[in-house]
Amino acid sequence: MSVALPTSVGEVVDLLAHNPEATLLAGGTDLMVEVNLHGRRPGDVVALHRVSELRTWSLDTSRRTVTIGSGVPYAEMETGELARLVPALAEAARTVGSPQIRAAGTLGGNLGTCSPAGDGLPILSALDALIDVVGPNGQRQVRFADFMVGVKKNSLQPSEFVRSVTLPLVEGWQGYAKVGTRNAMVIATASVCLVRSIDHVAVALGAVGPTIIRATEAERWLVANHVMSSPPNVETLSEFGRMVREASRPIDDHRSTAAYRRHAVGVLAQRLLTRSYS
């Protein structure tokens, strides 16, 4: 196995252009599990940790967006200015693995793996993130909805990689909640990100389908029924939960049953909607 240690995005582009089969290594918290436990044998590895540009984030005050480098670890999203700007991402980051995993793991790796249970992904979905992709043909921005195309499948072309993600700053409330088989160090069996402003709501569901699912009917129903300005009553919450459950497409697997996942995702969405008014 060879390991290349580029220090710039340009070098990464060149390395991947000459060797599209090379495997990217960011924090290694997914990749090394594949290597150590599942027998994956990457031939050539391109390690990203020395590319400082990937490990920074920036705020564009005129466009009101935040751009987060694909190599920024979760630990940097948990607190501080980035957490204030994108609180749902901070909440999600705080639920990832352990402090060691959060010190190493990145959004780029979450997007590279593209598991429906990835904690960063419902946030990117609910906020309609743009994924900044770089490759031999230059740069392009891909809507998150077009980026994640299946279970552990993304729409990156050969030699392309994720440079950063760009998120809008939202005037309003945003939050994230997940359940798993225990209270910490747990992969989600169901998760929800809810974003609410005065005339808009977005509800993204994780671990209950092959991709992150937007509960678009529930979103439209909330807005159309003018329940955005006052806290939801029992009937509204009940109907909202039902519509969210309807939107989910869970399966039975070793972590949970489909029935539990469907129930849980409805409860999580109801709790977030209630919290968004408190």
Give the per-residue SS3 of 176-211: EEEECCCCCCCCCCEEEEEEEECCEEEEEEECCCCC
Task: For residue 46, give Cα distances in angstroms to 105, 206, 213, 263.
Answer: 16, 29, 32, 42
In the complex with ligand FAD, the residue whose CB is nearer, 98 or 216, is 98
Site for ligand FAD in 77-96 (CB under 6 A): 95-96
Task: For residue 58, give Cα distances in angstroms to 52, 165, 253.
Answer: 13, 11, 39
The correct pick among 6, 97, 168, 209 for binding ligand FAD (CB under 6 A) is 97
Q: Is residue 192 close enough to count as binding ligand FAD by CB under 6 A? A: no
Q: Which residues are 201's β-sheet partners?
A: 196
Piece in contact with ligand FAD (CB under 6 A), picked from 105-113, 231-239, 247-255, 261-269: 105-113
The correct pick among 9, 24, 127, 213 for binding ligand FAD (CB under 6 A) is 24
Piece in contact with ligand FAD (CB under 6 A), picked from 29-37, 193-201, 208-216, 254-262: 29-37
Piece in contact with ligand FAD (CB under 6 A), picked from 59-67, 75-83, 109-117, 226-234: 109-117
Q: Is residue 130 close enough to count as binding ligand FAD by CB under 6 A? A: no
Distance CA 9, CA 85 (A): 26
Piece in contact with ligand FAD (CB under 6 A), picked from 30-38, 193-201, 208-216, 218-226: 30-38
Q: Is residue 29 close enough to count as binding ligand FAD by CB under 6 A? A: yes
Q: Is residue 33 close enough to count as binding ligand FAD by CB under 6 A? A: yes
82 token code pair: 């980035």
Q: Is residue 3 close enough to count as binding ligand FAD by CB under 6 A? A: no
The dihedral built from the CA positions of residue 33, 34, 37 and 41, taken in this order, carries a sign that is negative
Q: Is residue 206 close enough to count as binding ligand FAD by CB under 6 A? A: no
Q: Is residue 70 close enough to count as binding ligand FAD by CB under 6 A? A: yes
Q: Are 65 and 128 in contact (CB under 8 A)?
A: no
Distance CA 138, CA 91 (A): 33
DSSP string, 34-97: HHHHH----SEEEE-TT-GGGG-EEEETTTTEEEEETT-BGGGTSSHHHHHHSHHHHHHHHHSS
Piece in contact with ligand FAD (CB under 6 A), picked from 24-32, 225-233, 258-266, 267-275: 24-32
Q: Are 204 and 193 in contact (CB under 8 A)?
A: yes
Q: Is residue 119 close enough to count as binding ligand FAD by CB under 6 A? A: yes
Q: Residue 267 CB, nearest distance to ligand FAD (Å)?
A: 19
The correct pick among 110, 166, 174, 211 for binding ligand FAD (CB under 6 A) is 110
In the complex with ligand FAD, the residue whose CB is nearer, 114 or 244, is 114
Residue numbers at the binding site for ligand FAD (CB under 6 A): 23-31, 33, 48, 70, 95-97, 101, 104-106, 108-110, 112-113, 118-119, 161-162, 187
